[in-house]
Structure 1
Amino acid sequence: MTIDVIVCETCRQPDTGQEAGPEAGWTGAMFAALLEGVLASAGAEDVRVGTMRCLMSCRRPCAVHIRSPGRMGYVLGDLTPERSAVEALVGYLLAYGATYNGVVAYRDWPDGVKGRFVARIPAPDMQPLGK
């Protein structure tokens, strides 16, 4: 099943507060490009990467939204355009893809994604957990 990762391309640089979209070559564009490369190396053909002008997680840049039909979706923030951060996200995406509902056991989370979750978004057709 396809997994979409939408990367915010207009995150602000935390050290300067200046907007840095793809033309400035910072978080969103750099993160998305690095993510595509790491996914290709991992053979993760079922993961699609796209960008969006703003995910409205401005206090926690760089932000990404993970979604897949019938699965729980997630927004993560505080990601950096560094290989270690991208590899942690890819590790999480591989675990996410192995689930039927998008809920990855905490013990299976790579260290690089722990503490970076902003929101959990149920799929439109998903029953509330625990019901």
Structure 2
Amino acid sequence: MRSPMRKKIPMPVELSVCTSCRLDRSGPYDAEKTDGKPFAALVETEVGEESAIAVRRIGCLLQCTLACSAGLTAPGKWSYAFAGLPPTAEGAALLTAFARLYAESEDGVVPFARWPQGIRAHFNARLPPMSK
């Protein structure tokens, strides 16, 4: 008798969202008037109670000219950096869709053909996992 198929449980990942990003950088910086904070809230709403994705608000990801930015990391997996994300519900949904694929992957490599339409324009870097 064969054992029942087990559902693959996604590995928990951390989705870091920059809260200091701002699209209009013409005036002085005001921590209360950023595009990053409302974008982080939209991402948190999109993720909801999903246990495979933990949203982490980060003060700055140093991609200021490419606001809004985010990163995906998990132990033993490749990491991704994204920039120029629109601070909208659509932008949050796009980022979260990629994060779900990333969480389901064994090593963090999401095949290019599976990337959600629109995320490619915001891909900034992929970094290898730490060596052992």
TM-score by length of 2: 0.83
Structure number with bigger Rg: 2
Take 1:15 and 1:54, find their aligned partners in 2: how far apart are those partners?
14
Distance change in 2, residues 1:71/1:54 (3 Å): same
**Aligned partner of residue 111 in structure 1, secondary structure:** coil
1:129 corresponds in structure 2 to none
Take 1:17 and 1:118, find their aligned partners in 2: how far apart are those partners?
26
2:99 corresponds to which of 78, 93, 96: 93
* Pair 1:9 & 2:19 matched: yes
* Pair 1:66 & 2:72 matched: yes
Equivalent pairs counted in the alignment come to 122
C-alpha RMSD over aligned residues: 1.8
2:125 corresponds to which of 111, 119, 122: 119
Deviations 1:57-116 (A, max 9, x none): 112111101101111001100012211111111111111111101111111111121121
1:27 corresponds in structure 2 to 35
Take 2:106 and 2:23, find their aligned partners in 1: how far apart are those partners?
36
Conserved 8 A contact 2:14-2:55: yes
Which consecutive residues of structure 1, in runs of 5 or more, have no partner in the other structure? 127-131
TM-score by length of 1: 0.83
Matched AA of 1:35? V
Take 1:110 and 1:15, find their aligned partners in 2: how far apart are those partners?
29
Q: Runs of 4 or more off by more than 3 Å in structure 1?
A: 14-21
